[in-house]
Amino acid sequence: MNKLAIISDIHGSLTGLERALEQADREGAQRILLLGDLLYHGPRNPLPDGYDPQEVANLLNARKAQIDLAVRGNCDAEVDQMLIEFSIMGEYAVLLQGSRKVFVTHGHHHHMDHLPDLLAGDVFMQGHTHIPVAETRSGIHLFNPGSVSLPKGGYPPSYGLLDEQGLLVKGLDGAELLRLDLNEADSGL
């Protein structure tokens, strides 16, 4: 399995995106998954450090061959799609990892307190809250990589990784914040 970088809530921060991609490259991530809120900072958020939506779009477009999928965040609009050269308008996506379903969304419709139909061992992935999560509840693995630009809850800016060992949240400084070993978690079911 290839290592997958999971990036959410960029909100137009070129600085945050560049740092996340640098860390993901250091980690050997071959693919990228985007959990929404790519270009616009949103009316409730301050301007993030390095706010430059057009350059964020250019950097993402330069990496489009690496981007496996992107889902639409609540701050993403059709006008953003005009700048982005890959689809960002899907509300959610479902991936299969062996027999495991991975449900990917931004988190403003389906979220950790309002899950879609999933089975024990499946993964639910969201952004939106800007707070990292890596835990298992009722057999469902829940993951949020946090935000690369506007973190909340006292967390630093962060991104996620998925590999054969499981899910990991890392700070943009390279520090490990949270880990969820999917194989270990499954053995307790």
* Angle ∠(118,122,126) on CA atoms, nearest 5: 85
Compute the distance between CA of residue 12 and CA of residue 55 in angstroms, rounded to an integer.
8
Give residue 16's Cα distance to chain centre. 13
The predicted model gives 8-13 an average pLDDT of 98
Is 141 within 8 Å of 162 (Cβ atoms)?
no
Is 36 within 8 Å of 111 (Cβ atoms)?
no
Tens digit of each residue's pLDDT (9 = 90 or more) over 82-105: 999 999 999 999 999 888 999 999
Q: Model pTM?
A: 0.95
Q: Residue 186 — very low, low, confident or very high, per pLDDT cuts 50/70/90?
A: low
- For position 156, what pLDDT does the model report? 98
Cβ-based burial of 138 (10 A; exposed 0-12, middle 13-18, buried ≥19): exposed
